[in-house]
Structure formats: structure tokens, C-alpha cells
Amino acid sequence: MSKENISEKEISTNEEVAEEVEGKEQDVDTEAKEGEEQSDKDEKDLKIEELEDELASAKDGMLRKAAELENVRKRVQRERVQLFEEAKAGALEDFMPIADDLIRTLKAAEESEIEDSFLEGVQMVADKFKSVLEKHGVVRIDETGVPFDVNLHDAMMKQPAPDEETGSDVVLQVLESGYKIGNRTIRHAKVIVSE
């Protein structure tokens, strides 16, 4: 073979090798770029997951704080109502002896000779007082013949029942009336109970 033939073959082989090397370099570059892109994608996915976790944690924290705030509001409202009821009961409790004195005055006036106009005036005051107490939901505890209830009555003494039909632990006489507002007893009635 001639030098020219060898050179052409070498050149074409060299060109083919160069093309192959270039192709492989491009493949390596492409793979490297794809690898970099994949690692960038993985990093972004990780960052997105971290941010989503932080967001979920922040939402959870906000929901907990909102629920806690609502519970505080409800508790404060309950305490406010309870405080108002206690203040109301305390103020009304101060007036209970006056109501008792008015009732005692009326009973004493019926037995003695007092002018009718004076008695009517005292009766009007007692009725007004009674209507004010009713307006505020105050109920008088002064029933006889009812079973003794520790939530409503204070037993001052026990005595035998006046007849055999009356059972044990029945209110025979009310010595001092009691008062209640709703289910809350302001003052227990002082009573005599059957044995």
C-alpha cells in the first residue's frame, strides 16, 4: 500500500475515533448534566417537602392556638356569668331579713288592733318586695308537709309527728323561710322535722 492509502485510512480511522470520542464526551456531558439536573430536582423535592412540613406544622399550631383562644373565651364568659350570679345572690341575701321582718309584722298586725290603713300600707310594701324578689327569680322556701331536703332545709329539731299518717323526715313547721334562685339555695329554711 501506498503512503497515500495508509494516510487516508488513518485519517478516516482517526476521524471515526474522534467522532466516537466526541460522541462519548457528549454522552458523558449529557449524563453529567442529567445527573446534575436530577440532583437539583432531588434537592428541590426535599426542600418542597421540608416547606410543606413546616406549613403543616404552622397550620397545626395556628389551629391549636385558635382552639385555645376559644376555650379561654368560653371560660371567661362562664366565669363572668357565675360572678354576676354570685353578686346578685349576695345582694339579694342581704334583703332576706327585711322580707322576713315584713312578713312577721303582717302576722303580728293581724293579731293586734292596728289601724287598717297602716296595715294596708305595710301589706303594699311587702307585696312590692315580693314582686321584686320574684322578678329576680327568687323563690321562697316555706312549705310544710314536704319531705326534708338537705339542699333546701336546715333541721333545727326533730319531734314526733302529730298524726300517724305523717311519715318520718317530713317538714312539720318552718321557723325561718329559706330562699333560692333557680337550683341554687341562697338561704336554707330552718325547719322542725318529724321523727
Residue 92 has pLDDT above 50, yes or no: yes
As given in the structure block, the three cell numbers for residue 3 are 503512503
Angstrom distances, CA of residue 10 to CA of 19, 20, 21, 31, 182: 14, 15, 16, 30, 114
DSSP 158: E
**1: confidence class by pLDDT, cuts 50, 70, 90:** very low
CA distance 99 to 110: 17
Q: Per residue in 2-49, pLDDT tens?
A: 455 555 555 566 666 666 656 566 655 666 666 677 777 788 889 999
Angstrom distances, CA of residue 106 to CA of 36, 100, 101, 130: 103, 10, 9, 13
Backbone angles phi, psi at 159, to 5 degrees: -145, 160
CA distance 137 to 183: 10
Question: Is the pTM value of this prediction over 0.85?
Answer: no
Angstrom distances, CA of residue 55 to CA of 42, 62, 69, 81: 20, 10, 21, 39
For the residues of 181-193, what is the DSSP string, one character each? ETTEEEEPEEEEE
Choose the most confident range, by mean pLDDT, from 5-9, 54-58, 107-111, 123-127: 54-58
For helices 116-135 and 3-111, give the axis angle rounded to 10 degrees. 170
Given a contact cutoff of 8 angstroms between Cβ atoms, the answer to whether 181 and 137 are in contact is yes
Mean pLDDT taken over the chain: 82
